[in-house]
Structure 1
Amino acid sequence: MSILALAIASLALSQSAGATIEAREADRLEACVAKIEVDAEEAYEDGLAWIYQGNRPNARQCTALALIALGRPDEGAARLEQLANSVDGGSMEQRAEYLIQSGNAWLQAGAPEAAIVTFTNALKLKPGVPDLLVDRASANLMLGNWTEAKEDLDRALTLAPSMAIARQLRAEAHLNLDQLNLAMADIDAAMAVDPENIDTLVLRGRVREALRLSKVRVLSPEIVD
């Protein structure tokens, strides 16, 4: 066999072995995530053992997700963000996934500022993803950044007009911007898709009350001396 043929054969074997390892790692991560649902502490310990065996990215993701499930979302979020920025963080798709998980963990930890940074970085890797725009809008709503949240929700609804959660959240932004008719229009659209959503029903009550009070103010203007 020629040297070239040997090199080609060696490369094929290497690629095959790499694919086998990657598949095995993916299966192990899937098992870890499933175990988190049942016993997060044991999943975390398994992840630590996995890291000791080779410090693979999937092992670090496993431990970070387990930490979030164990009530330590800030630590899990930081680890996922670090993984997304690591040399061996994988493809752009994988890095974006880590950032999205990190951002949602920051929200869970009550750190919307950190979540906005993380979601913004994720959007650089996956621009124009409606769910991701909604995630960042949620963080801005937590901070009372109504205009910024509305801008993301406008973009999300341009891409996915029937997205009920985006309609609901934009109604919240409209309400706080005193754009009550627009808020009610979004409520109606959200309920057309998901009529039993409790959060939307509660929000509808708030918008109706705001509309009632606005009519009272119009009918009974303050007397100015």
Structure 2
Amino acid sequence: MMITLKLPHLSSRVLAPATILGVTILGVVILCGMATGAGAVPVALNRDTCLQRAKELPDFAYAEAQLWEKKGGGNDARLCQAMAQLFRGEYKESAVALEAVIPVLGLPPKVTAGLWGKAGWAWFNAKEHAKADTDYTKAIGLQPEDPDLLIDRATERAGAERWWDVLRDLDRALSLDGGRVDAMVMRAETKHRLGRDVEAGRDLRMALSLDPDNAQGLLLSGNIKADRGDKPGAKADWTHAVQVAGDSAAGAAAQDNLARLDGKDPMKDDAPAKAAPKADAKTEDKPRGQ
């Protein structure tokens, strides 16, 4: 049986990007007027400050950056607007804006790569896989030894079911940072997709030895055991996943798998409390991966 790949921590990576806001990209401080009830007052704005606000208060930051642009903020203000759109969930608009502004910013390669990565992430969330792949590839061209970018592109390629390309990116990422449990689990699932279960098992054992409470790893381990008929082993892994995963997607999938193991239909059982997405008739009897 085949399972559905659970893409790792998509939302958390969008909300806490590893490749932009952790990098200092301070420009000169610019004074601009911000409208208040008492009239316009000068507020010090710079690229770092505005990007931090885009993450924490995207609606406010977007309006602020628009005013900043009118007051002469230029490309820095346009970058801030694009990032605010990303955190507002306006993915296509953010990607278009980022692609327009990145080439004219003149920032160092590491920072530019991070921005191309965010453009790729925006396209990915807009379900534009080809455009996402193009921007991720630009990012990796500037920073070929950045495991975060490789893992992000692998995530995007998994969404497009390009499993061999996913495997290549994860192999590279793990050659650069061999302790990345998220990459190990994702590679194990990719190998399971490709029918390489012995190798998948090795990756999973290593991942769970480093992080025994990794919910996604436990979910996948249970799925693989269920595929080979080891129901007690699958039940143990899924139960552990539920215990450590809380309300996460991995926890919900493990809970559904446990219900199926007991002969229940979680789609019907959950209906009175919460409408569940319609299951694919070809896969509803298989362990859930997400």
Q: CA separation in 2, counterparts of 1:54 and 1:158?
A: 45
The answer to whether the 8 Å contact 2:27/2:47 transfers is no
Q: Distance in 1 between matches of 2:196 and 2:129?
A: 24
User: Which of residues 143, 155, 158 in structure 1 aligns to 2:160?
Assistant: 143
**Deviation of 1:36 (Å):** 3.0
Structure 1 residue 29 corresponds to structure 2 residue 34: no
Shift of residue 190 of structure 1?
A: 1.6
Unpaired runs of 5+ residues, structure 1, are 1-20, 214-225
| Structure 2 counterpart of 1:75, one-letter code | E
Are the aligned partners of 1:47 and 1:60 in contact in 2 as well (CA < 8 Å)?
Answer: yes
Deviation at 1:212?
Answer: 3.3
Using the TM superposition, give the Cα deviation of residue 65 of structure 1 relative to its aligned residue in structure 2, in angstroms: 1.1
CA contact (8 A) 2:129 2:160 kept: yes
TM-score (norm 2): 0.61
| Structure 1 position 173 matched with structure 2 position 193 | no
Aligned to 1:78: 96
Q: Report 1:61-100 matches (<5 A).
A: 61-86=79-104, 88-100=105-117
Question: Comparing both structures, which one devotes a greater share of its residues to helix?
Answer: 1
Instruction: Measure, in 1, the Cα distance between the counterparts of 2:107 and 2:88.
Output: 26
8 Å contact from structure 1 (residues 48, 63) kept in 2: yes
Q: Is the 8 A contact 1:83 1:89 kept in 2?
A: no
Q: Structure 1 CA distance, aligned partners of 2:209 and 2:99?
A: 37
Whether 1:211 and 2:228 are equivalent positions in the alignment is yes
Q: Report the AA paired with residue 59 of structure 2.
A: E
In the superposition, the TM-score normalised over structure 1's length comes to 0.77
Q: Distance in 2 between matches of 1:181 and 1:212?
A: 16
Q: Work out whether 1:51 is the aligned partner of 2:56.
A: no
Per-residue displacement from partner, 1:23-70 (whole Å, max 9, x unpaired)?
426962332233334432111001111122224332122101111122
Question: Please, what is the CA RMSD of the aligned residues?
Answer: 2.2
Shift of 1:89: 3.6
* Pair 1:23–1:85, CA change in 2 (3 A): closer
Match of residue 197 from structure 1: 214
Q: State the alpha-carbon separation in 2 of the partners of residues 153 and 113 from structure 1.
A: 19
* Preserved CA contact (<8 Å) 2:27 2:48: no
Q: Would the aligned equivalents of 1:180 and 1:211 in 2 still touch at CA under 8 Å? A: no
User: How far did 1:156 drift?
Assistant: 0.9
* Partner of residue 219, structure 1: none
Q: 1:141 to 1:50 in 2, by over 3 A?
A: same
1:192 maps to a residue whose letter is S
Q: How many Å separate the matches in 2 of 1:78 and 1:200?
A: 35
Q: Which has a greater percent of strand?
A: 2
Residue 204 and residue 112 in structure 1: after superposition, are their counterparts in 2 closer, same or farther (change >3 A)?
Answer: farther
SS in 1 for 2:228: helix
Q: Report the equivalent of 1:218.
A: none
**Aligned equivalent of 1:131, options 137, 148, 151:** 148
Deviation at 1:196, TM superposition (A): 1.8
Give the deviation of 1:210 after TM superposition. Answer: 2.7
Shift in alpha-carbon separation, 1:92–1:48, aligned structure 2, 3 A: same
Residue 120 of structure 1: CA displacement? 0.5
Q: Are the equivalent residues in 1 in contact too, given 2:27–2:46 (CA < 8 A)?
A: no
Contact kept, 8 Å, 1:130 with 1:159, in 2: the verdict is yes
Quote the residue 1:109 is aligned against: 126
Q: Specify every segment of 5 or more residues in structure 2 that has no aligned partner in the other structure, as ranges.
A: 1-25, 31-43, 231-290
Which structure is larger by alpha-carbon Rg, 1 or 2? 1
Counterpart among 189, 193, 199 of residue 182 in structure 1: 199
Distance in 1 separating the partners of 2:114 and 2:129: 18
Aligned-partner Cα distance in 1 for 2:220–2:183: 13
Contact 2:123–2:131, Cα closer than 8 Å, also in 1? yes
Are the structure 2 counterparts of residues 206 and 121 from structure 1 closer, same or farther at C-alpha, using a change threshold of 3 Å? Answer: same
